[in-house]
Amino acid sequence: MPPSPAVRYNSGMHENLLAALRTVNDPELHRDLVSLGMIERAELVGGTAEIKVNLTTPACPLKATIEADVTRAAMLVGGVDSVRVEFGAQVRTQATPPLPGVKNVIVVGSGKGGVGKSSVASNLACALARMGASVGLLDADVYGPSIAHMMGQGSARITANAEKKMQPIEAHGVRFLSMGNLMPAGQALVWRGPMLHSAIQQFLKDAAWGTLDYLIVDLPPGTGDVQLSLTQTVQLTGAVIVTTPQDVALLDASRAIDMFRKANVPILGIVENMSYFVAPDTGHSYDIFGRGGAKKLAQSFGGLPVLGEVPLDTEVRQDSDAGRPAVLAHPDSPAALSLSQIARNLAGRISVQTFQGSLEPLPMA
């Protein structure tokens, strides 16, 4: 992991500021910000403590908590009249990055079709990019690609760069690849397993993804060739399981969880999509598919995290059809707010998992 920038001091108060910041723990990692290497700057300018904190992700779900804790601790230092906290971000990766330049690869699976997996994947990618992360999106649903349409680039075609690598298409601040941009619209792809494996290899290793904090992979339904190819090709950071609340969806979601566990892929969390419906005229909430299934599923696997519940919302469908995901088209809608929070929760889970994989303190000047 790269060392954090040196902490700069002046006016003779740096030791007290630093001591104060050693009392502030990251609320998810449960270690102090100084030993985690998250303090880039700690200066006393006049009576103002100027502190820069490098978060483990720009989508940190507890940024406000960290700011409040840093401010409270710094105000206890003698000579400090005010505190100015600035934030940066440095997304970490596992000891061996999964792909050159790519820090984390996250697959989004479902076990069955029709649960809104692709919609969740595209919204997560756009939400993370909107929060400041560098994000890629790979449509691995080779037989039924939909990401190109959902990203508003159904007519675009993938080209090769000077190094003869596939050049991802960019939309909404996200770089993506989809078979939908290689095949004519509506044309069926009739391939056997080995050809699928070859396509996944090319999408991952023969594409110019550049530097990415997160590569989100939208999987096809089921537990077949594409899933196996991915686990054999790249070290996955983890999997997100999308389900709807009803029992038939939960049965297939449990199979997806079991497959990833057998392949030693960590489960980052479960998303309950179409969790409930709020009538726009009355505001009354209806549990059309039986809300709470994701929680039951999580408990049946020993307490997996539930990243969030997304309400059934016609705007999500309309926005996907229009090629502009809901987190961008209607960011203040209940569904978009839920999806954005799920993206924060996911980023937080990845940060926790990354640090749990290394018990050694991060380097600090």
What is the strand order of the sheet 169-171 is part of? 169-171, 174-178, 135-139, 214-218, 105-109, 238-243, 267-272, 306-309
Q: Using an 8 Å Cβ cutoff, are 49 and 43 in contact?
A: yes
User: Quick check: 28 and 351 in contact, CB under 8 A?
Assistant: yes
User: What is the rounded distance in angstroms from the CA atom of residue 294 to the CA atom of residue 271?
Assistant: 7
Report long-range pairs for 354-362 (Cβ below 8 Å, ≥24 apart): 354/56, 354/92, 354/93, 354/94, 354/104, 355/29, 355/31, 355/36, 355/56, 355/92, 357/94, 357/95, 358/1, 358/95, 361/35, 361/36, 361/37, 362/1, 362/3, 362/4, 362/35, 362/36, 362/37
CB atoms within 10 A of CB 259: 19
Q: Which residues are annotated as a binding site for ATP?
A: 111-118
219 Ramachandran zone, left/alpha/beta (phi>0; psi -120 to 50): beta
| Rounded Cα–Cα distance for residues 296 and 146 (Å) | 30
What sign results for the dihedral spanned by CA atoms 78, 82, 83, 84?
negative
Please answer whether residues 338 and 232 qualify as being in contact, where contact means their C-beta atoms are separated by less than 8 angstroms. no
* Alpha helices, DSSP H, located in 164-246: 193-205, 225-233
Which positions make up the binding site?
111-118
> Is 68 in a helix, a strand, or coil?
helix
